[in-house]
Amino acid sequence: MLPFFDHTPAAPKICGITSHEDALRTIDSGAGALGFNFYPPSPRAISSEGDMRWISKLKTDYPDIAMVAVVVNPDEELLKRLEQAECFDAIQFHGDESPEFCAAAGHRFPRWIKALRIRSQSDLVAATAFKTSFLLLDAAVPGTYGGSGHMIDWDLGSEFVSAHPETHVILAGGLNPSNVAEAVRSVRPHAVDVASGVESAPGQKDPEKVSSFIANAMNG
Which residues participate in catalysis according to the annotation?
15, 138
104-108: which pairs have CB atoms within 8 A and are 24 or more residues apart? 105/74, 105/79, 106/132, 108/79, 108/83
Question: CA of 21: how far to CAs of 17, 28, 198, in Å?
Answer: 9, 11, 15
Q: Give the rounded distance of the alpha carbon of 38 from its chain centre.
A: 12
Give the list of residues 6+ apart from residue 8 with CB closer than 8 angstroms, or none.
168, 190, 191
Is-contact 114 134, C-beta < 8 A? Answer: yes
Tell me the β-bridge partners of 201: 204
Degrees (nearest 5) of the Cα angle 46, 51, 56? 95
Cα separation, 116 vs 11, whole angstroms: 21
